[in-house]
């Protein structure tokens, strides 16, 4: 098999050593003579696996004891409903910062359950996507929580500074950035992430929640979305996505072996710098996100001449560079360079981009 680098935004590539280990133990896990996906979630070996995964995640992100870690169903979007149902009454206001497609979707879902207030929206100034100064944000007086998306997977917009919202619990959609950089967990009320970008397979979502927020769910919250119920039951109120949990556990082990979150952050910064340098070095390629907001996980870029898009994508695939087509709402290209993408993959992409420009520029 030729080397293929998969730049898919999600479900995204997983680390090679994780996939190999999963393959090795696929039909005979821990000598049990069957797969980990064929055993009870309440069995001793599975509980041990589940505990180890949580312990490793806690260690990787330095999650304090007064926070719970939940392994839930329903991916990222499931949390768009879970957040208002668990944290606000129907009559309450909730603040939402809109920085791109995903935070906009979160607002749309929240409208079913609360009155979302959009405090500010990203905008284009002098051709660059940026965010209005925080002094101009229109926050509610008594918001039940403040929701934002730390990394907009579609738009390639990442926030490096935390909104300053006083005592209002900060709720962060970290689906495409969790574990890519160190975090100060205590700044947040709730962090959630669909797993399929930096954690494991799709369907699973990981929730990190401050314990005092666990008992606020309104009475008609569906049980499978209820944070308190999930916490009381060790994330096993109903059958959890066991195989996804297992793979997430392998990814956490891998990340620890790679040196943890600060080591991967250095690597992620180097990968992103290499790619943005390649884009900025020429007018042939364009990324129009203002530099403080450029994502280190998802790098969208346009060809100045979009009639070359198809040729670019076809030739990229011929060179083993997969899934570079941009989101349909943005067009152009997007390279997702999550934790699992090795620096060699980014180098191969930048080399290909130079060569493509040489032939077509």
Catalytic residues: 102, 173, 197
Query: Least distance to ligand PLP from the beta carbon of 215, Å?
Result: 26
Q: Does 149 bind ligand PLP (CB under 6 A)?
A: yes
| CA distances (Å), origin 157, targets 49, 129, 224, 296 | 35, 8, 31, 9
Q: Does 241 bind ligand PLP (CB under 6 A)?
A: no
**Burial level of 175, CB count in 10 A (0-12/13-18/19+)?**
buried
230 contacts 74 by C-beta, under 8 angstroms: no
Count of residues touching ligand PLP (by CB under 6 A): 13
Tokens encoding 174: 């970290």
Query: Least distance to ligand PLP from the beta carbon of 110, Å?
Result: 13
Q: Does 202 bind ligand PLP (CB under 6 A)?
A: yes
Query: Least distance to ligand PLP from the beta carbon of 9, Å?
Result: 7
**Spatial CA neighbour of 343 closest among 287, 235, 266, 249:** 266
- In this structure, the number of other CB atoms found within 10 A of the CB of residue 234 comes to 17
Helix (H, G, I), strand (E, B), or coil: what is residue 63? coil
Helix (H, G, I), strand (E, B), or coil: what is residue 334? strand
Q: Does 201 bind ligand PLP (CB under 6 A)?
A: no
Per CB under 6 A, the list member of 96, 102, 293, 301 interacting with ligand PLP is: 102
Tally of residues, the chain: 361
Which residue, 319 or 336, is less far from ligand PLP as judged by CB? 336
Which residue, 147 or 197, is less far from ligand PLP as judged by CB? 197
Question: For the packed helices 343-360 and 309-318, what is the interaxial angle rounded to 10 degrees?
Answer: 130
Would you say 65 is a known binding-site residue? no
Name the pairing type of β-strands 157-158 and 151-152: antiparallel
Helix (H, G, I), strand (E, B), or coil: what is residue 211? helix
Which residue, 144 or 149, is less far from ligand PLP as judged by CB? 149
Binding segment toward ligand PLP, per CB under 6 A, in 133-141, 169-177, 303-311, 342-350: 169-177
Which residue, 176 or 235, is less far from ligand PLP as judged by CB? 176
Report the alpha-carbon distance of residue 77 to residue 94 in Å, rounded: 17
Q: Does 73 bind ligand PLP (CB under 6 A)?
A: no
Q: Does 117 bind ligand PLP (CB under 6 A)?
A: no
Binding-site string for ligand PLP from residue 10 to residue 39, where x marks contact by CB under 6 A and - marks none: x-----------------------------
Binding segment toward ligand PLP, per CB under 6 A, in 128-136, 194-202, 247-255, 307-315: 194-202
| 215: Cα within 13 Å, side-chain hemisphere | 3
**Spatial CA neighbour of 260 closest among 205, 185, 183:** 183
Q: Does 75 bind ligand PLP (CB under 6 A)?
A: yes
Q: Does 194 bind ligand PLP (CB under 6 A)?
A: yes
Query: Least distance to ligand PLP from the beta carbon of 176, Å?
Result: 4
Q: Does 198 bind ligand PLP (CB under 6 A)?
A: no
Instruction: Give me the phi and psi of 206, to 5 degrees please.
Output: -105, 130
Per CB under 6 A, the list member of 81, 122, 129, 176 interacting with ligand PLP is: 176
Name the pairing type of β-strands 128-130 and 123-125: antiparallel
148 contacts 118 by C-beta, under 8 angstroms: no
Instruction: Give me the phi and psi of 132, to 5 degrees please.
Output: -60, 150
Q: Does 156 bind ligand PLP (CB under 6 A)?
A: no
Query: Least distance to ligand PLP from the beta carbon of 199, Å?
Result: 11
Report the alpha-carbon distance of residue 295 to residue 153 in Å, rounded: 8
- Binding-site residues for pyridoxal 5'-phosphate, please? 76-77, 102, 153, 173, 196, 238-239
- Binding-site residues for L-glutamate, please? 42
- Binding-site residues, please? 42, 76-77, 102, 153, 173, 196, 238-239
Q: Which residues bind ligand PLP (CB under 6 A)?
A: 10, 75-77, 102, 149, 153, 173, 175-176, 194, 197, 202
């Amino acid at each position: 098999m030729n080397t293929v680098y998969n730049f898919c935004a999600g479900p995204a590539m997983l680390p090679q050593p994780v996939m190999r280990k999963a393959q090795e133990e696929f039909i005979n896990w821990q000598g049990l003579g069957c797969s980990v996906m064929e055993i009870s979630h309440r069995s001793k070996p599975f509980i041990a696996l589940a505990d180890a995964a949580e312990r490793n995640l806690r260690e990787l992100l330095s999650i304090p004891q007064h926070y719970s870690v939940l392994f839930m169903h329903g991916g990222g979007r499931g949390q768009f409903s879970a957040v208002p149902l668990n944290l606000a009454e129907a009559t309450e206001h909730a603040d939402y910062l809109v920085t791109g497609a995903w935070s906009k979707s979160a607002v749309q879902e929240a409208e079913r359950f609360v009155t979302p207030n959009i405090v500010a929206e990203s905008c284009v100034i002098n051709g660059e996507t940026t965010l209005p100064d925080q002094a101009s944000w229109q926050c509610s007086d008594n918001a039940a929580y403040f929701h934002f998306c730390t990394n907009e997977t579609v738009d390639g917009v990442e926030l490096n500074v935390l909104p300053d919202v006083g005592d209002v619990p900060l709720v962060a959609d970290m689906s495409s950035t969790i574990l890519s950089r160190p975090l100060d967990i205590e700044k947040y009320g709730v962090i959630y992430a669909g797993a399929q970008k930096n954690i494991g397979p799709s369907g699973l979502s990981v929730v990190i929640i401050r314990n005092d927020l666990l008992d606020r769910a309104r009475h008609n919250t569906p049980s499978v979305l209820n944070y308190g119920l999930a916490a009381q039951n060790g994330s096993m109120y109903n059958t959890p996505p066991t195989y996804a949990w297992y793979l997430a556990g392998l990814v956490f082990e891998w990340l620890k072996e790679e040196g943890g979150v600060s080591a991967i952050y250095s690597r992620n910064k180097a990968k992103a710098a290499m790619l943005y340098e390649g884009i900025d070095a020429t007018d042939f390629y364009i990324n129009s996100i203002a530099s403080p907001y450029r994502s280190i996980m998802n790098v969208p870029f346009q060809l100045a001449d979009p009639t070359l898009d198809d040729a670019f994508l076809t030739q990229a695939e011929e060179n083993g560079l997969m899934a570079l087509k941009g989101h349909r709402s943005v067009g152009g290209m997007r390279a997702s360079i999550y934790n699992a993408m090795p620096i060699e993959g980014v180098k191969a992409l930048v080399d290909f981009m130079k060569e493509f420009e040489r032939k077509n520029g």
